[in-house]
Amino acid sequence: MGTGAAAIEWRHGDGLVPYEDAVAEMEERVAAIRAGAAPELVWLLEHPPLYTAGTSARPEDLLDPQRLPVYRSGRGGQHTYHGPGQRIAYVLLDLDKPERGRDVRCHVWRLEEWIIAALRHFNLNGERRDGRIGVWVVGRDANGNTTEEKIAAIGVRVRHWVSYHGVALNVDPELEHFRGIVPCGITEHGVTSLAALGVTASISEIDIALRATFEEVFAAPLCRS
């Protein structure tokens, strides 16, 4: 099948895809990929508003359990928010392929690198931080103090060496909903979006940037750290 983007199916979700339905479809597809019955998949979609709790989620980080539905997810990570205006990219890849080397850490690195590359299309500088998975942007608050805010969250699960779940990029979501949780268990830094940073971008434009940058990241033979 090769390693390039052409060997991978790209799918766009219609409307707001219920989270439970997406998880069920991913689990079916993981089994099909493992069996060689279906190609790898990148699935771009949006969810209705909800909180998801990953395998490391702490009950005390759900600050307002009545605000939105809460779904207990099998992905890694802690609490996060999903909703309209947030581009979800579920990345279902066979990490057992020789060029991927059964390396989950490398897969997470590539997901971060992919978002960083896509953000460059909108003149935004996404960055990594040691000990904090995801993509961050640096700015200044009203007092001129340096700030670091998360613009994309990452949570993955791997079954039989096939990855699923993936990335949530904040394009123009309702940031107020993040107040109902401690996002990813981090209290000392906030959450932002392209819109909050003054970048006007449609979901379609985001998708074009994601498609344009995918192969340069995931076709690379090795990860950098």
Give residues with Cβ within 8 angstroms of 135, minimum separation 6: 112, 115, 116, 119, 126, 127, 128, 150, 151, 152, 154, 169
Q: pTM of whole model > 0.85?
A: yes
Contact predicate 94/162, CB 8 Å:
yes
Query: Where in the sequence numbering do the catalytic residues fall?
Result: 184
Q: How far apart are CA 46 and CA 83, in angstroms?
A: 6
| Whole-number average pLDDT of the chain | 90
Q: Is 137 exposed, middle or buried (0-12, 13-18, 19+ CB in 10 A)?
A: buried
φ/ψ of 192, rounded to 5, equals -135, -175
Contacts 24+ apart (CB under 8 A), 12-18: 12/43, 12/44, 12/45, 12/207, 13/43, 13/44, 13/45, 13/46, 15/46, 16/46, 16/47, 16/48, 16/84, 17/45, 17/46, 17/47, 18/47, 18/48
Taking the CA of residue 9 as centre, how many other CA atoms within 13 Å lie in the half-sphere pointing to its CB? 13
Please state the rounded mean pLDDT for residues 128-143. 83
**Sign of the dihedral defined by the CA atoms of residues 43, 46, 47, 52, in that order:** positive
Q: Supply the DSSP symbol for 73.
A: -
How high is the pLDDT of residue 99?
79
Give residues with Cβ within 8 angstroms of 218, minimum separation 6: 3, 5, 93, 110, 114
Q: How many residues appear in the chain?
A: 225
Q: Which pLDDT tens digit goes with each residue over 1-43?
A: 334 444 899 999 989 999 999 999 999 999 999 999 999 999 9
Q: Which pLDDT tens digit goes with each residue over 171-214?
A: 999 999 999 988 766 666 789 999 999 999 999 999 999 999 99
Q: How far apart are CA 72 and CA 78, in angstroms?
A: 10
Contact predicate 133/108, CB 8 Å:
yes
For the chain, which residues make up each domain, given as ranges? Answer: 5-218
Q: Is a pLDDT exceeding 80 seen at residue 141? A: no
- 132 forms beta bridges with 129
How high is the pLDDT of residue 142?
65
CATH tag for 5-218 (out of 3.30.300.30, 3.40.50.2300, 3.30.930.10, 3.30.450.20): 3.30.930.10
